[in-house]
């Protein structure tokens, strides 16, 4: 009995392919006044929506529509012989495979549509982050290049000062210990770099390390979420892989 229309309604159920959830959705679509439709076993446990109607109809159950409860006792099936039961299982398996084959294309189209929508959403969300990242990278790269040129200028100034002191002010005998301690101090500085970073002082690696330092500092200042950006890039790559 439908609660709003107050009339009996018959539903056709295909036990092999219809689930409890599909049956309940059909009931609710038939009468918009149904707010809640559930199925319970005789022991009071709720039957999941993924359960096939064939399994549900093997035992008694209770159908609850809104506040009305209906006790259902399915007719007892005649026991089948083993050979007949095997044939029925083969037929069920074949029907299931045909059902999957007929609906596979629709499922793929629906899945592809969902992936394309997700792809557009990810690209839309990534666009402002990509623009912000490009600005931060340009700034970090400029600072890193400026630091390299400053280092070259300091080294050139040091070399010129040592040459001036050696040939115009003092002699090599006086400047030799000075250059020794400058060399030793440089070796200590490189060793300290290794102790702090656990990496050899290789110019490309040192440049990349300084670039990342400027990049993360600038990202924090401009509230650029690096973890969120990386997660979106991973999701985008995963969606593209599935689509391909």
Instruction: Count other C-beta atoms under 10 Å from residue 225's C-beta.
Output: 13
pTM of the entire predicted model: 0.49
Mean pLDDT, rounded, for 3-27: 82
- For residue 180, give the 3-state DSSP assignment: helix
pLDDT tier at 104 (50, 70, 90 boundaries)? Answer: low
User: Over the stretch 77-86, which tens digit does the pLDDT of each residue have?
Assistant: 654 455 555 7
**Best-predicted range by mean pLDDT (44-48, 90-94, 97-101):** 44-48
Q: Rounded to whole angstroms, how far apart are CA atoms 236 and 199?
A: 33
- Give the pLDDT confidence of 195-236 residue by residue, as tens digits: 888 878 777 877 888 888 888 888 888 888 888 888 888 888
């Amino acid at each position: 009995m439908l609660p709003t229309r107050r009339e009996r309604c018959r539903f056709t159920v295909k036990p092999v392919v219809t689930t409890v959830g599909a049956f309940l959705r059909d009931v609710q679509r038939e009468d918009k006044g149904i707010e809640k439709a559930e199925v319970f076993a005789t022991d009071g446990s709720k039957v999941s929506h993924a359960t096939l109607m064939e399994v549900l109809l093997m035992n008694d159950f209770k159908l609850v529509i809104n506040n009305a409860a209906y006790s259902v006792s399915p007719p007892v099936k005649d026991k089948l012989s083993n050979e007949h039961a095997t044939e029925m299982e083969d037929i069920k398996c074949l029907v299931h495979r045909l059902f999957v084959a007929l609906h596979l294309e629709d499922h793929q189209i629906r899945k592809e549509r969902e992936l394309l929508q997700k792809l557009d959403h990810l690209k839309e969300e990534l666009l402002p982050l990509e623009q912000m990242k490009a600005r931060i990278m340009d700034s970090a790269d400029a600072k890193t290049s400026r630091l390299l040129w400053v280092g070259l200028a300091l080294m050139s100034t040091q070399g010129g000062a040592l040459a001036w002191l050696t040939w115009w002010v003092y002699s090599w005998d006086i400047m030799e210990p000075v250059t020794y301690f400058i060399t030793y101090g440089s070796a200590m500085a490189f060793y300290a770099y290794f102790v702090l970073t656990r990496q050899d002082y290789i110019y490309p690696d040192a440049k990349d390390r300084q670039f990342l330092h400027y990049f993360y500092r600038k990202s924090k200042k401009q509230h650029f979420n690096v973890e969120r950006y990386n997660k979106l890039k991973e999701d985008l790559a995963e969606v593209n892989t599935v689509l391909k």
